[in-house]
Structure 1
């Protein structure tokens, strides 16, 4: 089984990122918009998605983003904010403003060409964009879908609000996203695919930059990747998930005793190394079941199980379904999703 020696890339590939740029928003005067929790908007923006991450790029002007329990975050021109956990939030021209009362307009527009142009002015929300010179703020809003099960250690490792300042965002991100949204107005062939790919790239770039910004000794999965020994252990497990790993052998390979590796691994990731290996094997198995045609016994062997029955028991614990039933459910979901 061929895998990358980059655990972050491995996880990003295995959890099926799917992107969409959904709204092109212009604003003026005092304005505020409520964005419901991603679990509520998922049926409208990305049907069938297990989890949705929303992001906003401030193309012009600035504003504030607020999530309950967190201090409001000020955004400037060129800044991007992501909400990895899918929290409901308010985007506004100033902190503390009350959002425009919502209705079912989001669901009524679900079949409209994307991105949907929307304008906020005072207490009004209407279809269409203001002329650029009349808008005090212009925002591009997108969504990225991903899988949480069987195993996605990245989402829990990210903050509820992930701020990517303009001076820290890769030079190509904002121009490419703006270009993709502008081009969408021409309805050229391939525009939808371009918008999707750019949206996914925005999230990948954001995750990388958040990882790079973490201080030494940070906890969580991303902090573990930066730790010399634990990061090496995770890399080995991702590179060779079917290997007959023991804690002793893994410790020997990274230069720690069995007990020291266990203690440090748990402190950073919240789980023992062998539990992590089992979880990652389930994620690898899910990807093989979904994307390939191998039978369950072959998939079990590819991820390190001598027994199909043992793999099936572990997989059911992780997903709630036996492997064959899970595969059928995935295929049915793919057929049901709109093209």
Structure 2
């Protein structure tokens, strides 16, 4: 492909990482996390979706979604919850935490991260960062990846609710990530937060690639479309030149299929028609420009393939529910520090 479509989507949805907790635990313990809808406004400003992950540096534990899937984790493993489900990490399957999240809102302004949290049975302690976890059965680094769901994020729906990365399946990469994360959280060195955030983003990209590589041949979804020779080429072309006046016939010619064959194959794998996908991706590209630049709405409209500001504004409002100027101001206000 002439364009790395996955990288383009990750830039478009503004993936960014942060590490907040270094958890040590012993005895029969359970740590419960609320859903992404509750977490996002408490932990990362200007983010409408949060993916939480847990990297086990020492010991073993269980992680799962109440009433849903669960897995056992060993040292070096990572588990993440792409859809933002409420979940539990515990010493044994089936345990539940207290559900008291009153201390979460203070995390963002708590100073240098990650914060140290100790679980001893049902007792939760917040000792000073950098102190040793004497007698702990398990040590876990918990982080968060923020990204945009609106106007359009094709990746999240293509991922499972629980994604388990085994250290043994990845050579030394995941194990080194967990070791480095713990070392940085203990050392509290300058630049540690930024380094852990970038490592978190790398780990997420690697997890998505590994998941895509393991998909069965007959799978459907955006990642399956990305892997497909013909649909993947059409996706790459639309991402490389989103403002171009594409037709399904022209995309098919570049991809090596007839118009009808490409349309049917695209719908079967991605779930929407090619032109619908293009319109949705244009809105996401526009949203990124609205948030990351001071370009006028008229200039952004031209950049994403609209002949007029009015036509673009109508399309944006249909998809997002608000005119682009109003949406930009509201998102800027939500991201501004208090």
What's the secondary structure of 1:134's corresponding residue? Answer: coil
CA contact (8 A) 1:24 1:138 kept: yes
Tell me which residue corresponds to 1:260.
261
| Per-residue deviation, 1:191 | 2.2
8 Å CA contact 1:64–1:95 kept in 2: the answer is: yes
The residue aligned with 2:306 is: 305
* Paired position in structure 1 for 2:78: 80
Residue pair 2:45, 2:334 contacting (<8 A) in 1 also = no
Q: Decide whether the 8 Å contact of 2:231 with 2:266 is kept in 1.
A: yes
Measured in 1, the distance between the counterparts of 2:298 and 2:132 equals 60
User: How many matched pairs?
Assistant: 335
Alignment of 1:61-76 (within 5 A): 61-76=59-74
CA distance in 2, matches of 1:102, 1:325: 35
Aligned to 1:33: 31
- Cα distance in structure 1, aligned partners of 2:220 and 2:114: 37
C-alpha deviation, 1:103, in angstroms:
4.8
Shift of 1:90: 1.0
Per-residue CA deviations over 1:151-192 (Å, capped at 9, x if unaligned) read 110011110000111123463444245324433444433222
Q: Do the aligned partners of residues 25 and 184 (structure 1) sit closer, same or farther apart at CA in structure 2, a change above 3 Å counting?
A: closer
Unaligned runs of 5+ in 1: none
Distance, in Å, in 2 between the alignment partners of 1:252 and 1:163 is: 39
> TM-score w.r.t. structure 2 length?
0.92
Are 1:325 and 2:326 an aligned pair? yes
* Deviation for aligned residue 1:110: 4.3
Unpaired runs of 5+ residues, structure 2, are none
Deviation at 1:132, TM superposition (A): 4.9
User: Residue 103 and residue 149 in structure 1: after superposition, are their counterparts in 2 closer, same or farther (change >3 A)?
Assistant: closer
**137-146 or 115-124, larger mean C-alpha shift:** 115-124
* Residue aligning to 1:237: 238
1:37-52 correspondence to structure 2 within 5 Å: 37-52=35-50
Quickly say closer, same or farther: Cα 1:105–1:254, change in 2 above 3 A: same
Task: Give 2:142's aligned residue.
Answer: 141
Stretch of structure 1 that moved more, 164-173 or 242-251: 164-173
What TM-score, normalized by structure 1, do the two folds share? 0.92
Measured at CA, do residues 87 and 258 of structure 1 come closer, stay the same or move farther in structure 2, by a change above 3 Å? same
Provide closer, same or farther for how the CA distance between residues 6 and 137 of structure 1 changes in structure 2, counting only shifts above 3 A: same
Does the C-alpha gap of structure 1 residues 98 and 149 become closer, same or farther in structure 2, counting only changes over 3 Å?
A: closer
- Call closer, same or farther: CA 1:310–1:183 in 2, change over 3 Å: same
Give the match for residue 118 of structure 2: 119
Query: What residue is the counterpart of 2:337 in the other structure?
Result: 337
Pair 1:68–1:111, CA change in 2 (3 A): same
Report SS of the residue matched to 2:150: coil
Q: Distance in 1 between matches of 2:171 and 2:299?
A: 41
